[in-house]
Amino acid sequence: MALEPERTTRGWAARDASGILSPYTYSLRNTGPEDVYVKVLCCGVCHTDIHQIKNDLGMSNYPMVPGHEVVGEVVEVGSAVTKFKVGDTVGVGAIVGCCRNCRPCKADIEQYCNKKIWSYNDVYTDGKPTQGGFAGAMVVDQKFVVKIPEGMAPEQAAPLLCAGVTVYSPLSHFGLTQRGLRGGILGIGGVGHMGVKIAKAMGHHVTVISSSEKKREEAMEHLGADEYVVSSDSTRMQEAADSLDYIIDTVPVFHPLEPYLSLLKLDGKLILMGVINTPLQFLTPVVMLGRKSITGSFIGSMKETEEMLEFCKEKGLSSMIEVVKMDYVNKALERLEKNDVRYRFVVDVAGSKLDQ
């Protein structure tokens, strides 16, 4: 029996902690019974991509092809694949594997599996490194592939696969989906902007809390926030005390928590979403005297991703994006680091020449 020729694809990879991406050819596994072979159409650029390519978390392996907000077209399916067929538009998020036996896996919240396999900068079950969506193609187990709803543009869907579900998951899990709740969104980057849109679509009164006046107009006019509070304006912060049911805190750098905890009502929740590598601090009475919770949440499950995509389709919800070609990706990462994007870069992979 002749060996199948090795399947390769072209991606853009970081070679070291400088984080500069350049063309890289590597092999993909052949489509197994449960696998879906996906031609990448586009891929969102997430803040995590910067942490990983620059080895900020000290666990990076190179060459590394980042990208975990992937939308593509199914080119081939394995013999046991039931959910997808050739030609379907599908999405792949931050995770491509899990153990399937632990408590989180059995409860369909596989994002909390201790043996989960990341879409890139990880090792797959076959011992080969996983590579992400800044590439021509990916092979992914059907469990970690979702259908993109009819009529949703691929580049619009991409940021939903990480930023969108990251906000949707805690609101759903903590029972914060009913109309009329009052929510706060702290920081409006990729995740924060989706937070405003999803919370508004759920019928919440949304206050954006920011460090400066800079984003007032866009928060109110473009994203539809109800109020805008600058965290250093002590008068406004005092007026807003005890007014919020929850705050989604997307700030990815050190910040004091007390000012925000004081905005929460009795039983209010501060939900942390920023990956911060320095310890945060707060005074216990602020939490005790309002029975408040400080909690965290991490992306979302495949089930929640499907629900969230349906929700966004039903509400006609879109992300605000800037579409770029692959040869601009290094500049895009540089701008993202400076928060110079409204609000998510999406790389048009299919429309890019991946060789130069």
At 153-182, the pLDDT tens digits run 999 999 999 999 999 999 999 999 999 999
175 backbone dihedrals φ, ψ, rounded to 5°: 70, 35
Residues 6+ away with beta carbon under 8 Å from 194: 159, 160, 163, 164, 166, 167, 319, 343
CA distance readout (Å), 314 to 42, 222, 291, 302? 22, 20, 35, 18
Do 44 and 163 touch, CB atoms closer than 8 A? yes
Is 201 exposed, middle or buried, given 0-12, 13-18 or 19+ CB atoms closer than 10 A? middle
Q: How confident is the model at residue 57 (pLDDT cuts 50, 70, 90)?
A: confident
% the chain with pLDDT above 70: 99
Neighbour count for residue 231 (Cβ, 10 Å):
18
Phi-psi region of 67 (alpha: psi -120 to 50; beta: other; left: phi over 0): left
CA 146 to chain centre: 15
Q: How confident is the model at residue 4 (pLDDT cuts 50, 70, 90)?
A: low
As assigned by CATH, the class of the 165-296 domain is alpha beta
CA distance readout (Å), 58 to 72, 118, 334? 30, 16, 20
Listed in order, the ranges of the chain carrying CATH 3.40.50.720 are 165-296
Q: Strand pairing of 70-77 and 35-45?
A: antiparallel
Run of H or E including 118: strand 117-118
Alpha helices in the chain (DSSP H): 47-53, 103-106, 154-157, 163-173, 190-201, 216-217, 234-239, 258-261, 284-288, 302-314, 329-337
What CATH code would you report for 8-162+319-348? 3.90.180.10
d(CA 60, CA 96) in angstroms, rounded, equals 17
Q: Which of 104-108, 153-157, 252-256, 311-315 shows the lowest per-residue confidence on average (mean pLDDT)?
A: 252-256
Q: How confident is the model at residue 318 (pLDDT cuts 50, 70, 90)?
A: confident
Reply yes or no on whether the pLDDT at 84 is more than 70: yes
pLDDT (tens digit per residue) in 89-145: 999 999 999 999 999 999 999 999 999 999 999 999 999 999 999 999 999 999 999
Listed in order, the ranges of the chain carrying CATH 3.90.180.10 are 8-162+319-348
